[in-house]
Amino acid sequence: MVVNCQSPSKSPQKVALLIQYLGTNFHGWQRQPSQISVQGCIEQAIADVTGLPVNIYGAGRTDAGVHAAAQVAHFAYQGSIPAHKWTKIINPRLPEGIVIRASAQVSDDWHARFSAVWRRYRYTIYTDKCPNVFVNQTCWHYYQSVLQESLIQAALEPLIGKHNFTAFKRSGSDRVDSSVEVQAAECYRRGKFLYLEIQANSFLYGMVRLLVGMLVEVGVGDRTPENFTKIWQNQLREEVKYSAPAKGLCLLRVGYPEFPFAQSLWFDTQPNFQLAR
């Protein structure tokens, strides 16, 4: 049902959305012809309310199967609905697996993508030999060899700073500049789960999954941290052969100089699994 909410007398407003989704049943964030995407579902939900087509702009494009704990997007709207009420209006119109956690009005010059100064991803690996259905959708079940987090952390540390990461860019990317400023990178264990978190100003297409695929080789001792560093520093893309499964990756959060949402809503909203050893 279309809601009569258009009002030419109202000044245009920009509405920011804080979004969570399980990427399992979606063909990524970006709108796709003949494919179900997160962006497409949210745009359709808003259009069902306003009766007009709408474009939403996200902070980042996640691939098919990748999740988000705090994706951020915005859209322009001219009408009578207050910005903070869009959460309750959109959620009943969304498919299972997508939730709008909050909505708020932002300034005209604020942009979900271009105003962001960093993005942080978390990759989760479940290392127990026994499968667990409750973690299957959001973890890579890797148990074939023991992963040593100290080796992975040693490989992560040289990533800090601004570097050319052509070695970790999937084919099909239209981005010319492969420079990325990595601001933080860490590996830690919680019981049967191994976590890798990487924060940067931006990411190349497929970068984190290619990184994790090679870091697992480091963790099991097939590569040394030094060999890992040599490969990306020398842009040896042909040496990077494996991409970690999409389901273990989550866009954890996005950072802005000015953000309209309370930290409790966006800072760390993907649960950390901590099953005993």
**Which residues are the active-site residues?**
63
Q: Which residue has the tokens 């996005």?
A: 254
Say if residues 108 and 240 touch (Cβ distance below 8 Å).
no
Which amino acid makes up residue 272?
Answer: N
Per DSSP, what are the bridge partners of residue 74?
16, 57
Q: How far apart are CA 86 and CA 103, in angstroms?
A: 6
Distance (Å, whole) CA 14 – CA 25:
29
Beta bridge partners of 68: 21, 251
Rg (CA), the chain: 20
For residue 51, the tally of other CB atoms under 10 A from its CB is: 12
Distance, in Å, from the CA atom of 101 to the CA atom of 45, rounded to the nearest integer, reads 15
How many Å apart are CA 66 and CA 63, to the nearest integer? 6
Decide if 49 contacts 2 (C-beta within 8 A): yes
Q: Residue 236's CB: how many other CB atoms inside 10 A?
A: 12
